[in-house]
Amino acid sequence: MCAQPAPEPASDGRVVLDARDITRALTRISHEILERNRGAGDLVLLGIPSRGVPLAQRIAERMAAVEGYDVPVGSVDVTMYRDDLRMKPARALLPTQIPAGGIDGKVVVLVDDVLFSGRTIRAALDALNDIGRPKAVRLAVLVDRGHRELPIRADFVGKNLPTSLVERVRVTLAGVDDTDAVTIQGVVGQS
């Protein structure tokens, strides 16, 4: 939820994960999910827009390479389930695409770029509630930056990144942005 839609030039931030680090982290997460789930059966990957969706697709590609099986990938938009919906002007909705097989009885892995307060994930759990009843819901994130405000944790983490509350973590992904990178930026005038 702290990945900003329109990143400023990354030059003013400190790069903590470069493209190769991100590739390695996603490969490890893919294997961990498969190991934990004992294969790819029943799995459904749902990315949280916007940057959770390409991450989910990349994880699915790696799983297909390992297992020779196409794991269904979709997206779930949490905009209308956010607890701060009333505090800002109405926001544009992002795509929700549930794979044809649905999520009933499946193991749903939610995929997002940054885990911060946990409020986005809470909203995603509410959204899933209206879509179906999965057998289990797991959470995979590229970066866990701490500062949780709700009792939520990730099952699969690309990198634990201790941060201060004034810092901003930015994830850029090729396809959506120019390059793959995770950067930390201090508040203007402080870093």
At closest approach, how far in Å is the CB of 125 from another protein?
13
- Rounded Cα distance between 57 and 124, Å, is 18
Chain position carrying tokens 């405000």: 149
Residues 77, 97: contact at Cβ < 8 Å?
no
Q: Looking only at residues 118 through 147 of this chain, which bind another protein when binding is defined by CB under 8 A? A: 126, 130-132
Count of C-beta atoms within a 10 Å radius of residue 12:
11
In the list 5, 14, 70, 93, the residue contacting another protein (rule: CB under 8 A) is 93
**Per rule CB under 8 A, is residue 80 in the interface with another protein?**
yes
Q: Does 85 bind another protein (CB under 8 A)?
A: yes
Is residue 6 at the binding interface for another protein, with CB under 8 A as the rule?
Answer: no
Q: Is 15 exposed, middle or buried (0-12, 13-18, 19+ CB in 10 A)?
A: middle
Please say which residue, 92 or 188, places its beta carbon nearer to another protein. 92
Q: Which of 47, 77, 112, 171 touches another protein (CB under 8 A)? A: 77
The distance of closest approach from Cβ of residue 78 to another protein in the complex, given in angstroms and rounded to an integer, is 11
Tell how strand 14-17 and strand 136-144 pair up. Answer: unpaired
* Minimum distance, C-beta of residue 113 to another protein, in the bound complex (Å): 21
Rounded-to-integer distance, Cα 61 and Cα 66, Å: 9
The verdict on 86 binding another protein (CB under 8 A) reads yes
Select 102 or 146, whichever has its Cβ closest to another protein.
Answer: 102
The token pair at 137 is 């819901």
Q: How far apart are CA 30 and CA 83, in angstroms?
A: 31
Binding of another protein by 87 (CB under 8 A): yes
Place of tokens 């209206």: 130
Of 4-12, 24-32, 60-68, 80-88, the segment contacting another protein by CB under 8 A is 80-88
Binding site residues, another protein, CB under 8 A: 77, 80-81, 85-98, 126, 130-132
